[in-house]
Structure 1
Amino acid sequence: MLAAVSTPPFHPSPQATAAWRDRDDACPGALRLHAADDGALARIRIPGGVLRVDQAEALGRAARELGDGELHLTSRGNVQVRRLAAGCGGELAKRLGASGLLPSQRHERVRNIVASPLSGLDGRGFTDVRPWLRELDALLCASEAAAWLSGRFLFALDDGRGDVAGLSADVTVRAAPGEGAWLRVGASDAVLPVSSEEAPRAALLAAEVFLEAAKGQTWRVSELAVPADELLSDVVRRLRAPQPTAVPGWQVTGEPSPGLVTAPDGMTGLSVLAPLGRLTAAQWAELTASAVRELRLTPWRGVILPMAPVSRLSHLAATGLITEPASPWTGVGACIGRPGCAKSRADVRTDAATALRPGGGLPVYWSGCERRCGRPRGDHVDVVAEQDGGYRISVVRDGLAQATFLNSPLLATAVAAARTQDQFHDQ
């Protein structure tokens, strides 16, 4: 067991606070809305993507009555509501608070936690991470220091299968074989073994150590001049823990496939994907009607419905949701593009839909500019709108990219070739 060590509360100096405010990350939240080209935008943090049915219904009503009725899933399992009317921020906050989606106003933008969405459902993984999720969220909201985290800082809770461990989180807790867990800070070369009971507290401590090192100057561990291994060593010192060990085969697996989820005891659940992460009011209503107790939003813009009967799958498919791995929409993502974003050079969602081809392969992500908002981690095909028209296509593997420049008539063929790693050349 790790010794309990009290950590002095983090209070930024006036200089650090000023620097922080000068470099505000501008991430939208539920209380601080973003002025997009198509109206105000709210990003609502859903730790672990877990929503009770009544909370999902409340979100649907808020989107219909205050926005355009649609819900957009993010790469962190959060929800965005767009085209909000001017001056509705107070009403939105009131509704979210009443449904339990706003437990701490000071922490609402920092509750960025991804968790293995199939944990406890399909018999894989070493532990059910939902207790970790509940405890970490509660600790996060109770921490004075954590309120100073940026809206980009990310925690990941992996049940051992390796799905969210590959999402480049700032702090990752991964279940270990048997009992216990490994704590990793950023891309550190080592991990700290911790007990299962103490894993959430160790994760929060790692975030507080980051804040002290960052001094309000950086948003994420990867931006620090201090190596991640030094942060981990500081966590070890404060916990009076054994020395870290080498990363033990940090293998990464993929996202849940759409379709039926079957547990060892025969209980079923459903997995669906939202095309480009966009859920219409009708699709959201069908999801909430099909859910039993809860929905789990995934970092891959999907939804898991634990214990939902297989008979609901056809109803979900009828609304346009992806329910089969062979769907041409599987693995296709995009930013909001035009007309919602002034920085976008193209209507990337329409172009992505036009370029759909069967065959699958690497994930592909369409971006309207070089910011690449929401792009996936890991190997993928990167499609970016060019300043003078057309798109630049890159196959990204292990951080290396091979690019080609194409005009629109060849776009669909080139993207399909890139996804399947066929030979493709500059056009």
Structure 2
Amino acid sequence: MSRADDSTCTTSLKVTIVEIRQRADACPGVFATHDAADGALARVRLPGGRVTAAQLRELAACAADLGDGELHLTSRGNLQLRGLERDDPRLARRLAAAGLLPRPSHERVRNYLASPVPEVDDLVAALDEAVCAVPELAALPGRFLFAIDSGRGDVAGERADVTWCDGAFLIDGEDTGVRVPRDRAVDALVTAARAFVASRGDAWRLRESAAARAQVLAAVRPLGTVEAPGEVPRSGPPPVGGRVVAPWFGCLSGTQARALAALAPSVVVTPWRSIVLPAAHPSLADAGFFVDPSTPGVALSACIGSPGCAKSHADVRAEASRVAAALPVSLRAHFSGCDRRCGRPRGDHVDVVAADDGGCFVDGQRFSSVDEWREGRV
């Protein structure tokens, strides 16, 4: 461990240095799609996961008309469309008309996590407007992540590059000791992002550059007061149940998207591939949503797997679905088709990775099949 500090302030921050990225940032967006085995993939940014009913209906229509018919929830509270034609201009036109592309030059940098509560809606909207108003922030890497936490700790543990958590300013999930009032929260986050752009070199994330981290801290410190860093609340994801529902593997069909749009004027897509509604709707179970935390499979997640991804060694979603009923309901496990482990959740979970010969590795231990691992648990 090393520390970023300043002789004029006792504030310190634990850091871990990792290797600087040597390749270009290829984070997908709407204008810069990613080529997958099932066609082009476009990522649509939803500020803080907020999306209106009208936008949901249009997204579902775009998926049906231009893609594979489904909306795929991401670990940053965004949505992806798959199976698209590469460089098809119709998607951008339709999303812009729906208000989902307010500033094309900034569309890949609008990465904001936020607590799924109305108390921070105004801050999320103000942050998006402020980021889009600063031309140099279009140069942010697509991996740079902002977060706004109401103080409950919902997203404070997601290791966003910069987080405002009910006054506490965090860098890479660690409390800096800087305290910024609510009316300066957006200013602090934008100031931090500008300092990162100016000092990042080749780094994509703040955790990759001690120099950039120090510059960000120095830029934000005058906007607040300083105290000894403390423990930050980290409540983690709200469990499924009540107002929180989730589709299998974070995959929304058009029917499901329209069902949500019919029930609420807006919903929040969370970074845990669940959806928060203004009120509970148990009837959504009939539409294929998890609405009860005791339902088998509710804690399982998986990458897209084959045939959607050419790098995947298995259809991991089919495998996870097949064994879900035989696993403990509370078991949090992520099934990956290769060692890239796309979409894996943050926090403790069982790591199931397909091998190239039909076997798998579970938390690093070799098994001849998923069934061999499952049978050892029951």
Normalising by structure 2, we get a TM-score of 0.89
- Among residues 248, 265, 283, which one is paired with 2:256 in the alignment? 283
Q: Structure 2 CA distance, aligned partners of 1:344 and 1:131? A: 41
* Residues in 1 aligned to 2:183 and 2:87: alpha-carbon distance in whole angstroms: 44
In the alignment, what sits opposite 1:155?
146
Secondary structure at 1:258 match in 2: coil
- Aligned partner of 1:331 in structure 2 is 299
* Secondary structure of 1:355's aligned partner: helix
From 111, 114, 128, the equivalent of 1:137 is 128
Matches within 5 A, 1:354-365: 354-356=322-324, 357-365=326-334
1:285-364 pair list within 5 angstroms: 285-291=258-264, 293-307=265-279, 310=280, 312-314=281-283, 316-356=284-324, 357-364=326-333
Q: What SS does the corresponding residue of 2:122 show, helix, strand or coil?
A: helix
Q: Which runs of 4+ in 1 moved over 6 A?
A: none
C-alpha distance in 1, partners of 2:321/2:259? 23
- Matched letter for residue 115 of structure 2: S
Deviation at 1:190, TM superposition (A): 2.0
Residues 197-221 of structure 1: CA deviation (Å, up to 9, x unaligned): 1001101111111222212x01101
Shift of 1:287: 1.4
CA shift at 1:147, angstroms?
0.6
The alpha carbon displacement at 1:111 in A equals 0.5
- Residues 1:411 and 2:359 are matched in the alignment: no
What's the secondary structure of 1:30's corresponding residue? Answer: coil
Residues matched between the structures, number: 357
Residue 79 in structure 1 maps to residue 79 in structure 2: yes
The structural deviation recorded for 1:96 is 0.6
- Shift of the 236–345 alpha-carbon distance from structure 1 to 2, 3 Å rule, reads same
CA distance in 1, matches of 2:147, 2:87: 34
Q: 2:350 maps to what in 1?
A: 381
Distance across 2 between alignment mates of 1:254 and 1:221: 22
Question: What CA distance in whole angstroms lies between the structure 1 residues aligned with 2:174 and 2:57?
Answer: 40
Alpha-carbon distance in structure 2 between the residues aligned to 1:197 and 1:325: 37
- Distance 1:23-1:43 versus aligned 2 partners, 3 A rule: same
Question: 1:86 and 1:208 mapped to 2: Cα distance?
Answer: 32
Q: Does 1:369 align with 2:369?
A: no
Answer yes or no: is the 8 Å Cα contact 2:49–2:113 preserved in 1: yes
Moved more, 354-363 or 57-66: 354-363
Deviation at 1:229, TM superposition (A): 5.1
Describe the shift of the 1:349–1:102 C-alpha distance in structure 2 as closer, same or farther (beyond 3 A).
same
* Structure-2 separation of matches of 1:170 and 1:376: 17
- Deviation, 1:230, is 5.4
**Structure 1: runs of 5 or more not aligned:** 1-18, 121-127, 176-180, 261-269, 395-402, 418-427
Cα contact 1:168–1:377 (8 A) shared by 2 = no
Q: Counterpart of 2:318 in structure 1: which amino acid?
A: T
Contact 1:369 1:385 survives alignment (8 Å): yes
218, 226, 234: which one aligns with 2:211: 226
Q: Distance in 1 between matches of 2:136 and 2:292?
A: 44
User: How much does 1:235 deviate?
Assistant: 2.3
Give the 3 Å change call, closer, same or farther, for CA 87–190 of structure 1 in structure 2: closer
CA displacement at 1:85 relative to structure 2: 2.8
The one of 136, 156, 160 aligned to 1:169: 160
Cα displacement (A) at 1:259: 2.3
- Equivalent of 1:248 in 217, 230, 234: 230
| Deviation of the 1:173 alpha carbon | 0.7
Counterpart CA distance in 2 for 1:165 and 1:61 is 34
User: Using the alignment, how far apart are the partners of 1:278 and 1:63 within structure 2?
Assistant: 12
> For residue 25 of structure 1, what is the aligned residue in structure 2?
25
Q: Distance in 1 between matches of 2:32 and 2:216?
A: 30
Could you say what secondary structure the match of 1:80 adopts?
A: strand
Q: Is the 8 A contact 2:175 2:231 kept in 1?
A: no
Cα deviation digits, residues 291-319 of structure 1 (max 9, x gap): 2x111111110111114xx5x422x1112
Q: 1:189 to 1:271 in 2, by over 3 A?
A: closer
SS of the aligned residue for 1:366 comes to strand
| Cα distance in 2 between the residues matched to 1:274 and 1:191 | 38
Which SS does the other structure have where 2:186 is aligned? Answer: helix
SS of the aligned residue for 2:62 comes to helix
Cα offset, 1:412, TM superposition? 2.3
Q: Give the deviation of 1:187 after TM superposition.
A: 4.2
What corresponds to 1:96 in structure 2? Answer: 95
Give me the whole-angstrom Cα distance separating, in 2, the residues matched to 1:34 and 1:71.
Answer: 16
CA RMSD of aligned residues (A): 1.9
Could you tell me whether the CA contact under 8 Å between 1:115 and 1:129 is conserved in 2? yes
Letter of the 2:151 counterpart:
G
Confirm or deny: 8 A CA contact 2:75 2:272 kept in the other structure: yes
Contact 1:189 1:229 in 2 (8 A): no
Letter aligned with residue 251 of structure 1: P
Structure 1 residues 63-74: aligned runs within 5 Å: 63-74=63-74
Mark the CA change 1:251 to 1:64 in structure 2 (over 3 Å): closer, same or farther.
same
Moved more, 379-388 or 220-229: 220-229
Change (3 A) 1:78 1:341: same
Q: Distance in 2 between matches of 1:157 and 1:342?
A: 36
Query: Which residue of 1 is the match for residue 359 of structure 2?
Result: 390
Distance 1:48 1:334, change over 3 A: same
The answer to whether the Cα contact below 8 Å between 1:184 and 1:232 also exists between their aligned partners in 2 is no
Contact 1:146 1:208 in 2 (8 A): yes
2:240 alignment partner, one of 258, 261, 270:
258
For residues 228 and 379 of structure 1, the distance between their equivalents in structure 2, rounded to whole angstroms, comes to 27
Secondary structure of the 2:211 match is coil
